[in-house]
Amino acid sequence: MNLTINLTRKCNKRCSYCYIKKSKQEIDFRRFKEIVSKVDPQIVTLTGGEPFLYSKISKIINLLNQRGCCVRIFSNGRVPAKQISNVLHEKGAELFISYNEHDKKTLKNLRLLNNKGVSICINHVFKNSSISYHERLVSEIGFIKKINFLYPLKIGVANIKMFSPTEWYNKLEKIKPIISNAGMNGFYETSFIKAEHSVLEIEKVYPCKTGFFLDTNGLIYPCCFMTEHFKGRSVPSSILSPFKCEILKKYRSEDPNYKRICPLILSTL
């Protein structure tokens, strides 16, 4: 079972694609312990806002480590590297840092954390940029050996271009040799499958990947993207069927040869 936890809605950056409304609201630590005990997750993703702005993040990681959970942290990487490394010191957690354009502060932190042996994966929202742009980007962060290319969903404040299936896969094919030449391991959000797949195949092979999403208000939602579409629950319920997903309904593929699947499913580039 997977559990994603929004620790705080505080953030020190304004990303145009972000779907989280900023505020000072944070998760109650007692509520966190209660839900973890009920769900008993194998994989826990800590997100925000910026999770390293949450004062009890060390206590949370310690508790999850004690339970044997695989811990993932999604950060923008702009909190001082020393603060991040102190939190992660001798703790079992993988750090995912967003890097979508040149950013001196984040790049400096990436280098410092990498030198300290912190396990890092880059999350990169693949916006409508040229291949030469991505060549420059990879040349900056090539010392990090793992990168996820994320499909740009129009759920933030910006008018982001959403690619058709053909556009998406063509762009990925062009970026593949750049990643390979840099010695990086690349992954991408699959986003679409061929239309001939049956409903049962989709539910079995491409199920909801979030599991449960615990928001800062202490309520549980079926997905991190759906806090505006579902009434939060105080206790976990059943995992969401892909065919009840409001995101998939809203952003259906305009290409009749493809169906859209959960945007959180990753494939190897």
Residue ranges of domains in the chain, CATH in brackets = 2-268 (3.20.20.70)
Contacts 24+ apart (CB under 8 A), 21-25: 22/49, 23/216, 25/216, 25/217
3-class DSSP assignment, residue 13: coil
pLDDT at 51: 96
Write the DSSP symbol of residue 197. Answer: S
3-class DSSP assignment, residue 15: coil
Spacing of C-alpha 92 from chain mean position: 18
Angle at 63 between CA 60 and CA 64, to 5 degrees: 85
Q: Which helix (H) or strand (E) segment is 55 a member of?
A: none
Task: Give me the residues of the chain with pLDDT under 50, please.
Answer: none
In this structure, what are the phi and psi dihedrals at residue 102, rounded to the nearest 5 degrees? -60, 130
Q: Please tell me the distance from the alpha carbon of residue 56 to that of residue 7, in angstroms, as a whole number.
A: 9
* Residue pair 247/225 in contact by the 8 Å Cβ criterion: yes
Q: What pTM was estimated for this model as a whole?
A: 0.89
Q: Please tell me the distance from the alpha carbon of residue 213 to that of residue 4, in angstroms, as a whole number.
A: 5
Q: Which helix (H) or strand (E) segment is 224 a member of?
A: none
Model confidence pLDDT, tens digit, residues 44-102: 999 999 999 999 999 999 999 999 999 999 999 999 999 999 898 878 899 999 998 88
Spacing of C-alpha 11 from chain mean position: 16
Sign of CA dihedral 117, 61, 211, 98: negative
Q: Two tokens at 96?
A: 């995912």
Sign of CA dihedral 134, 135, 136, 139: positive
* Residue pair 137/143 in contact by the 8 Å Cβ criterion: no
Q: Two tokens at 40?
A: 């008993």
